[in-house]
């Protein structure tokens, strides 16, 4: 039989989640791990999204690891290239390169219940065995392209925001932009000045707030470099403000009326045409979909070379794009800003658990995981940014770091239990966690605000967002409660007998 590399932990993905997990493993004194990355470099979604104008709408001092502060952030809201460079820097600073296996796209991970380890196969033909899998593939990794009749025969350039075609020169071209999410509203002002004509297909108008972006002055950077506690204080302030906003999203959506007024005046400043303003005004409560930040979007839409079609793209006929309302436009290129497979992540089809079924099958009725990490029937497998760990208004890095606390304690618990051992989340614990989350979800703006969004799955259930503060999530993920897990062991006398489950007193 071929000898395969066997590691204690396999981390899948090298975005914020994967690199964060790797740093945390080293901090815990664990060096027997690999990071399997499908691409040729690190960075995850911040590597893949290189569209013009790509930037983060969470301030840089909060959208970075607490253990790797960067006093040199150049802007309050950093651009993609700076965030990507930061992640490369993290990989170097924390000595992660030797653990990285680039161009290792995981095609299958299968739990071997006899040996109590995961068998992980990659597209390049290699196989790695791992006692524990930390799946950090992220929800924004697989682009979603709508199934549009006639698209395959379109003669011009077609690409998705997350797979930008940098060889396609849009100068002087007629461009159709599909979608009005966070990606599209950054792309529109970036390509409008060069396009001959830009036709925006808007299925649902977003709420857009002004974006207070500015250069971080040399004096500020000097201060953060020289007196690091000032950077920490800045981060703390940014965090605290966002924590205070949470209850309006989760319990009192009626309080968001004032925010709607600010967003409307943001629009009114640039959009003078009442017909266009009517098209752009949302009919649902602000916050129901992600609140977008831009001070350049509306001014771009007011330019004479832009047409807003208040309808989705329904069909392509030759080089003509056709909206659901029948509006037609002839174009040279189509750019899809249509989001990602979030509630139907393709990676779930590649995880095969203890009973031989896939995670995708197990999640058919909706994604669910104990404390956002563990799925029942998938021993020693955990996910970073799993179900119901997303945020509507703050930094995902806070949630990732909370999950890393959980991961570290999980590994400690395995050490304490000793021997060849695995933890499998009890279905009752997963169910009870999920019921509590869904109960709280009922009052939130994401469920009551009168919109559909990628937060909701095909069954209309919100399986993506955390209905609380980041502080609360950190508290509930500080330690692993062993009573929520079944302990699985291989009997000491190894023979053909299968692994056995052990009861642990709660
Ligand atoms: P998204 O928010 O899922 O937006 C997809 C857009 O495509 C929506 O406007 C959707 O319309 C539209 N759409 C889908 N099919 C369509 C069709 N046939 N015709 C017309 N429109 C269609 O995707 P995204 O903009 O890539 O953003 C995803 C997430 O990534 C964000 O919510 C955010 O978390 C993150 N992100 C963050 C930043 C940032 O920090 N600034 C930037 C980019 C992305 P409906 O609204 O009607 O469904």
Cβ of 201 below 6 Å from ligand 1: yes
What proportions of the chain, in percent to the nearest 5, are helix, strand and coil? 35, 20, 45
Instruction: Ligand 1, residue 58: give the atom nearest the CA.
Output: 40
Q: How far is Cα 313 from Cα 75, in angstroms, rounded to an integer?
A: 35
Distance 445 CA to ligand 1 centre (A): 18
Instruction: Ligand 1, residue 451: give the atom nearest the CA.
Output: 46
CB 260 within 8 A of CB 254: no
Segments of the chain assigned to CATH 3.50.50.60:
5-142+341-502, 151-212+244-336
Cβ of 57 below 6 Å from ligand 1: yes
Cβ of 204 below 6 Å from ligand 1: yes
Say how many C-beta atoms besides its own lie within 10 A of residue 4's C-beta: 14
Alpha helices in 118-227 (DSSP H): 184-191, 218-226
Cβ of 413 below 6 Å from ligand 1: no
Instruction: Ligand 1, residue 339: give the atom nearest the CA.
Output: 23
Distance 158 CA to ligand 1 centre (A): 17
Domain boundaries 5-142+341-502, corresponding CATH code: 3.50.50.60
Cβ of 211 below 6 Å from ligand 1: no
Cβ of 290 below 6 Å from ligand 1: yes
Q: How far is Cα 368 from Cα 435, in angstroms, rounded to an integer?
A: 10
Cβ of 181 below 6 Å from ligand 1: yes
Distance 181 CA to ligand 1 centre (A): 3
Distance 185 CA to ligand 1 centre (A): 9
Tokens for 492, please give them: 């000491």
Q: Does residue 456 sit in helix, strand or coil? A: strand
Distance 349 CA to ligand 1 centre (A): 23
Q: How far is Cα 159 from Cα 161, in angstroms, rounded to an integer?
A: 7
Q: How far is Cα 232 from Cα 256, in angstroms, rounded to an integer?
A: 29
Instruction: Ligand 1, residue 185: give the atom nearest the CA.
Output: 25
Closest CA to 454 of 349, 340, 368, 292: 340
Distance 396 CA to ligand 1 centre (A): 17
Distance 274 CA to ligand 1 centre (A): 25
DSSP label at residue 384: T
CB 290 within 8 A of CB 181: yes
Contacts of 188 (CB under 8 A, 6+ apart): 177, 198, 200, 297, 300, 301, 306
Q: How far is Cα 66 from Cα 82, in angstroms, rounded to an integer?
A: 17
Q: Ligand 1 pocket test: pick from 83, 182, 391 the residue with the most ligand atoms within 8 Å of its Cβ.
A: 182
Q: How far is Cα 202 from Cα 196, in angstroms, rounded to an integer?
A: 19
Q: Ligand 1 pocket test: pick from 139, 149, 164, 183 the residue with the most ligand atoms within 8 Å of its Cβ.
A: 183
The confidence score (pLDDT) of residue 293 equals 97
Closest CA to 358 of 377, 342, 374: 377
Distance 154 CA to ligand 1 centre (A): 22
Cβ of 161 below 6 Å from ligand 1: yes
The confidence score (pLDDT) of residue 374 equals 98
Q: Ligand 1 pocket test: pick from 49, 84, 203 the residue with the most ligand atoms within 8 Å of its Cβ.
A: 203
Q: How far is Cα 182 from Cα 363, in angstroms, rounded to an integer?
A: 27
Q: Which residue has the tokens 């999410």?
A: 181
pTM for this prediction = 0.96
Distance 456 CA to ligand 1 centre (A): 13
Domain boundaries 151-212+244-336, corresponding CATH code: 3.50.50.60
The confidence score (pLDDT) of residue 506 equals 39
Q: What is the pLDDT along the chain (506 residues), one digit of tens a residue?
A: 578 999 999 999 999 999 999 999 999 999 999 999 999 999 999 999 999 999 999 999 999 999 999 999 999 999 999 999 999 999 999 999 999 999 999 999 999 999 999 999 999 999 999 999 999 999 999 999 999 999 999 999 999 999 999 999 999 999 999 999 999 999 999 999 999 999 999 999 999 999 999 999 999 999 999 999 999 999 999 999 999 999 999 999 999 999 999 999 999 999 999 999 999 999 999 999 999 999 999 999 999 999 999 999 999 999 999 999 999 999 999 999 999 999 999 999 999 999 999 999 999 999 999 999 999 999 999 999 999 999 989 999 999 999 999 999 999 999 999 999 999 999 999 999 999 999 999 999 999 999 999 999 999 999 999 999 999 999 999 999 999 999 999 866 454 445 556 655 43
CB 54 within 8 A of CB 79: yes
Cβ of 146 below 6 Å from ligand 1: yes
Half-sphere exposure at residue 124, Cβ-oriented, CA atoms within 13 angstroms: 12
The confidence score (pLDDT) of residue 2 equals 72
The confidence score (pLDDT) of residue 378 equals 98
Q: Ligand 1 pocket test: pick from 176, 179, 202 the residue with the most ligand atoms within 8 Å of its Cβ.
A: 179
Q: What is the dihedral of CA 181, 182, 186, 192, to 10 degrees?
A: 0
Distance 206 CA to ligand 1 centre (A): 10
In degrees rounded to 5, what are phi and psi of residue 320? Answer: -105, 130
Cβ of 86 below 6 Å from ligand 1: no
């Amino acid at each position: 039989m071929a000898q395969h590399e066997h590691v204690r932990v396999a981390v899948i993905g090298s975005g914020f989640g994967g690199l964060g997990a790797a740093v945390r493993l080293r901090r815990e004194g664990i060096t027997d791990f690999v990071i399997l990355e499908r691409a040729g470099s690190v960075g995850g979604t911040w590597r893949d999204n290189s569209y013009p104008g790509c930037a983060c709408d969470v301030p840089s001092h909060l959208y970075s690891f607490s253990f790797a502060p960067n006093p040199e952030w150049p802007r309050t809201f950093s651009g993609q290239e700076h965030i990507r460079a930061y992640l490369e820097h993290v990989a170097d600073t924390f000595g992660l390169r030797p653990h990285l296996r680039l161009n290792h796209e995981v095609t299958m991970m299968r739990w071997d219940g006899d040996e109590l380890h995961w068998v992980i196969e990659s597209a390049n033909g290699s196989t790695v065995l791992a006692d524990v899998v930390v799946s950090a593939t992220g929800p924004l990794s697989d682009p979603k392209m709508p199934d549009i009749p006639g698209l395959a025969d379109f003669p011009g350039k077609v690409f998705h925001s997350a797979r930008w075609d940098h060889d396609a020169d849009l100068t002087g071209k007629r461009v159709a932009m599909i979608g009005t999410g966070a990606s599209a509203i950054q792309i529109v002002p970036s390509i409008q000045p060069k396009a001959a004509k830009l036709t925006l297909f808007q299925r649902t108008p977003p709420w857009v707030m002004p974006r207070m972006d500015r250069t971080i002055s040399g004096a500020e950077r000097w201060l953060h470099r020289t007196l690091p506690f000032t950077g920490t204080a800045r981060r703390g302030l940014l965090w605290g403000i966002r924590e205070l906003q949470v209850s309006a999203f989760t319990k009192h959506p009626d309080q968001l009326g004032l925010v709607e007024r600010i967003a409307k005046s943001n629009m009114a400043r640039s959009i003078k045409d009442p017909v266009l303003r009517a098209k752009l005004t949302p009919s649902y409560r602000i916050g129901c979909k992600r609140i977008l930040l831009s001070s350049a979007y509306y001014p771009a839409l007011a330019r004479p070379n832009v047409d807003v079609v208040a309808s989705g793209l329904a069909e392509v006929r030759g080089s003509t794009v056709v909206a659901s309302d029948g509006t037609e436009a002839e174009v040279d290129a189509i750019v899809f800003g249509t989001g990602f497979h979030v509630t139907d992540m393709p990676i779930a089809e590649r995880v095969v658990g203890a009973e031989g079924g896939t995670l995708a099958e197990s999640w058919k009725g909706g994604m669910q995981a104990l404390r956002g990490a563990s799925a029942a029937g998938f021993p020693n497998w955990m996910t970073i940014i799993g179900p119901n760990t997303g945020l509507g208004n703050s930094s995902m890095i806070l949630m990732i770091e909370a999950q890393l606390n959980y991961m570290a304690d999980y590994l400690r618990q395995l050490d304490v239990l000793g021997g060849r051992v695995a933890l499998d989340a009890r279905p009752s614990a997963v169910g009870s966690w999920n019921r509590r989350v869904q109960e709280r979800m009922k009052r939130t703006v994401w469920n009551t605000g009168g919109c559909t969004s990628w937060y909701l799955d095909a069954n209309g259930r919100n399986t993506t967002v955390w209905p609380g503060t980041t502080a609360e999530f950190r508290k509930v993920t500080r330690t692993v409660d062993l009573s929520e897990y079944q302990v699985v062991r291989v009997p000491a006398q190894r023979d053909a007998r299968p692994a056995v489950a052990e009861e642990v007193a709660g």
